[in-house]
Amino acid sequence: MTQAPPQSIPPPTARPIVGTPSVSPGAPPSPEHLRELELARTRSKKIHRAAGVALFNGWTVGLFAALSLLIGLFSLTSLLIGLALAVVAYNEFAGAKMLRRLDTRGPRRLAFGQLGLCGLLITYALWSIYSFQTGPSPYEEALAVGGQATAIVGSIEQLQKTITYAVYGGLIVGSILFQGGTAWYYSSRKKYIHAYATQTPAWIIELERTAGSM
Tell whether 35 is covered by a domain. Answer: no
**Residue 23 binned pLDDT confidence (cut-offs 50, 70, 90):** low
Q: What is the largest CA-CA distance in the chain?
A: 97
| Full DSSP string of 115-147 | HHHHHHHHHHHHHHHHHHHHSPPTTHHHHHH-S
Tell whether 37 is covered by a domain. Answer: no
Tell whether 192 is covered by a domain. Answer: yes
pLDDT of the residue at 169: 95
% of the chain with per-residue pLDDT over 70: 75
Q: Is 212 left (phi over 0), alpha (psi -120 to 50) or beta?
A: left
Q: How far is CA 39 from CA 7, 81, 175, 207, in A?
A: 31, 44, 37, 15
pLDDT of the residue at 148: 61
Tell whether 2 is covered by a domain. Answer: no
pLDDT of the residue at 111: 97
| Cβ contact 50:99 at 8 Å | yes
Q: Which range (46-55, 94-103, 153-162, 176-185) has the least confidence? A: 153-162
pLDDT at 149 over 70: no
Q: What is the pTM of this model?
A: 0.75
Tell whether 127 is covered by a domain. Answer: yes
**Residue 22 binned pLDDT confidence (cut-offs 50, 70, 90):** low
Which domain does 168 fall in, by range? 44-202
Taking only the tens place, the pLDDT of each residue in 50-69 is: 999 999 999 999 999 999 99
pLDDT of the residue at 158: 80
pLDDT of the residue at 9: 39
Q: What angle do the packed helices 202-211 and 31-43 form, to 10 degrees? A: 60
Tell whether 28 is covered by a domain. Answer: no
| Mean pLDDT, rounded, of the chain | 81
| Domains contained in the chain, number | 1
Taking only the tens place, the pLDDT of each residue in 83-123 is: 999 999 999 999 999 998 889 999 999 999 999 999 999 99
Tell whether 67 is covered by a domain. Answer: yes
pLDDT of the residue at 18: 39
pLDDT of the residue at 136: 73
Tell whether 91 is covered by a domain. Answer: yes
pLDDT at 78 over 80: yes
